[in-house]
Chain A
Amino acid sequence: MDLNYSQEELAFRDQVRGWLKANLPADLRDKIANYEELTREDLLRWHGILAKQGWVAPSWPKEWGGTGWSVVQRYLFEEECGYAGTPPLIPFGLSMCGPVLLKFGTEEQKKRFLPRIYNGEDFWCQGYSEPGSGSDLASLKTKAVRQGDHYVVNGQKIWTTLGHYADWIFCLVRTDSGAAKRQEGISFLLIDMKTPGISVRPLILMDGGHEVNEVFFDDVKVPLDNLVHKEGEGWTVAKYLLGHERMNTGRIGASKRELSKLKEFAAQQRKGGKSLMDDPRFRDKVSRLEVELTALEITNLRFLDRMRRTGQPPGADVSMLKIKGTEIQQGLTELMMQAIGPLAQPFKAVNGDAGFDEFTAAIAPRYCNFRKTTIYAGSNEIQRNIIAKMTLGL
């Protein structure tokens, strides 16, 4: 048993760390550090920098631009990005649509879409959830009816993250409403967001931010060529995506960065003439979170090590990483907010007051925003269902 990375792995980590230090633009780094909202251009700029370096889609096959890295290297790269505080790589193209096309797409579809995903020429979003279909995804109602050489799509998607930035959306739609089982009769369609009949309505979250949307489909014509895999077998595609190797689910690098920030920030706050970090009640909460994060990191490494040895995908292990990772992320935002005490209240400057402390004012909204993490990507209760069924056999 050896918990340390090998010399080669450490050298790789240092190489990535050095490269990130030299290539992460200062303005983007500061925006992330100050909890500012990122624009479409910000996201695409960072995407472009990584694409040029050849690091934007490490897990793809080499012929399509993958790096050929080991699972450990891929994990290290993702965690180093998180720790350095890079803008996120938006997963809908690179980690969702891309892998789906690689697995189920025709040669033509791969050639048409993959290079554009790689280079960030198409911005993708995901059309899964519907107003009546959240955790119970298979109950979705958006309908696609075949008419000649195209489908006609009608219905509504919701919680469409960055749909307002997107050029394309991949959707689960119902192509056969008479199927015996609800999971049958669902198909996976690629839809150009510029197609007539699509409208996007912002959903403003409680932190005031615009990141999710409703997307309406009103007689939207989609060419038959845009069907991925077989008609009626979209559920297979969706399930593949859920089980796709995502070993950075715990977001450990980013949480490590937030933890050191929290410690530094709390040390500057005063309570009774002393640093807040000297208050045992507050300090113990920080320590407990740090211990949680250490436990998650070692657990993640154990799973990674097992994956490397057995060659098996992580399966329901990812659910555990999701549960613990998101609880830790939420804990960090909560303690940051607690650290500023009454100053958590100022939210937005009126009349553009020049002295308004934007950073402090972003802390409580961030706490609000992060409540989403235990809900999205399969709520933590759904993750528990998965573990109960897959791992425990209940």
Chain B
Amino acid sequence: MNFDYNEEQQLLADSVRRFLQKDYEFEVRKKIVGAGHSEKVWGAFAEMGLTGIPFSPDFGGFGGGAVDLLSVMEAFGEVLVVEPYLATLMGARCVANAGSDEQKKAVLPQVVEGKLKMAFAFSEKGARYDLAPSAVKATKAGSGWTLEGEKVVVLGAPLAGKLVVSAQAPAGPSLFLVDAKAVKLKPYVTLDEMRAADVVLSGAAGELLGAEGKALAVLEEVVDFGTALVCAEAVGVMKFSCDSTLEYLKTRKQFGVPIGTFQALQHRMVDMYVAYEQAKSMACLACSRVDGAEDAKERARAVSAAKIKIADNARLISQEAIQLHGGMGMSEELKVSHSFRRLTMIAQQFGDADHHLERFARLG
């Protein structure tokens, strides 16, 4: 038993934090959000090795796991990074898990080097969190495939060079590698200030990833991986929310005293802090089970348990942070209103608490 980051992980987290402190400072971030993302930041991520962490050394990566990404995602959460990092990792993970050697060689080194951003198109209108594709159909066309239909809320799609799209093929759920130029995007900004799009596929050419009809297990694994990472990110956002609220309680004066002297507020602050610690524990659990679970069921159960807790506590912490900041918390000028927006979305990303309660119970 050991909850410490190893030396490598700690050094990496430290250098990521140092970089973000300056280059993702809140005022700088505002400009990045306006532009959608920052090529300069992405280049720095690649230079620090962040884009290679979970990929095999065969393709230039570090062969790490979710646990190695835990501290990075936490650091991202603290400053509310909007780069399409998770989207890229998830898209590339589909290739790493299901793709042929040739496909991996074509895609992964480019991702690792920071030259290729990706997106993972798995959501469909009206399907909520169901991963089995039905709105996008794949049909065989000569030696390749064509895709027809629409995917929604594809994070990072407007910035991606390649997409991984889940589709219903004759033999069942399958994954396809699709060139971004082959699809039509309806792009937008999300509430939490990221770039996303609905993706229209009208006869787009796709390259089959893995065996036809066998994609569901890959989808589940990649979404569990993404869920564990978003749990880790949530811990960072929660940390910022708690820290800034605590700071506010100590400095804001009313009735001639800091408002942190009021017991009604102290106890609410304590509950936020306890919720943060519980969330952190669950993020550790989720990441370590994504890397080392005995089987898919153990992994899925741990990830769902974590997401239930993270979703509940994201709501509690974000709402309390605003309440304890008073009117100022409502203002767009304060970072805490942005962390509120991110936590609000994280609570529902990859399944809300109800979805995961259902899944947790189903897994027994």
Residues of A within 8 A of B (CB): 1-6, 9, 72, 280, 283-284, 287-288, 290-292, 294-296, 298-299, 301-302, 304-306, 309, 320, 323-324, 381, 384-385, 387-388, 391-394
The residue on A at minimum CB distance from B268 is A384
Instruction: Verify B250–A305 contact, CB threshold 8 A.
Output: no
> What is the minimal beta-carbon distance from B261 to any residue of chain A, in angstroms?
7
B269 at the interface (CB under 8 A from A): yes
Number of A-B contacts (CB under 8 A): 110
The residue on A at minimum CB distance from B285 is A298
19 residue pairs A–B, Cβ–Cβ below 8 Å: A1-B5, A3-B1, A3-B3, A284-B357, A287-B308, A288-B312, A292-B278, A292-B309, A298-B282, A299-B277, A305-B2, A324-B278, A381-B267, A388-B266, A388-B267, A391-B273, A392-B266, A394-B246, A394-B249
CA distance A291 to B286 in the complex (A): 12
B274 at the interface (CB under 8 A from A): yes
B305 at the interface (CB under 8 A from A): yes
Instruction: Verify B284–A3 contact, CB threshold 8 A.
Output: yes
Interface residues in B244-279 by Cβ distance below 8 A to A read 246, 249-250, 260-261, 263, 266-267, 269-271, 273-274, 277-279
Instruction: Verify A385–B266 contact, CB threshold 8 A.
Output: yes
Instruction: Verify B1–A5 contact, CB threshold 8 A.
Output: yes
**Contact A309 B273, CB 8 Å, known A384-B266, A394-B249:** no
B287 to chain A: which residues have CB within 8 Å?
1
Instruction: Verify B1–A387 contact, CB threshold 8 A.
Output: no
Instruction: Verify A287–B4 contact, CB threshold 8 A.
Output: no
Instruction: Verify B3–A305 contact, CB threshold 8 A.
Output: yes
B174 to chain A: which residues have CB within 8 Å?
none
> What is the minimal beta-carbon distance from A80 to any residue of chain B, in angstroms?
16
B274 to chain A: which residues have CB within 8 Å?
320, 323-324, 387
B279 to chain A: which residues have CB within 8 Å?
295
CA distance A305 to B5 in the complex (A): 12
CA distance A302 to B1 in the complex (A): 9
B6 to chain A: which residues have CB within 8 Å?
1
The residue that B269 contacts in the complex, of A294, A323, A388, with Cβ under 8 A, is A388
Instruction: Verify A392–B273 contact, CB threshold 8 A.
Output: yes
A320 to chain B: which residues have CB within 8 Å?
274, 277
B132 at the interface (CB under 8 A from A): no
B284 to chain A: which residues have CB within 8 Å?
1, 3, 298, 302
B281 at the interface (CB under 8 A from A): yes
Instruction: Verify B2–A294 contact, CB threshold 8 A.
Output: no
> What is the minimal beta-carbon distance from A280 to any residue of chain B, in angstroms?
8
B267 to chain A: which residues have CB within 8 Å?
381, 384-385, 388
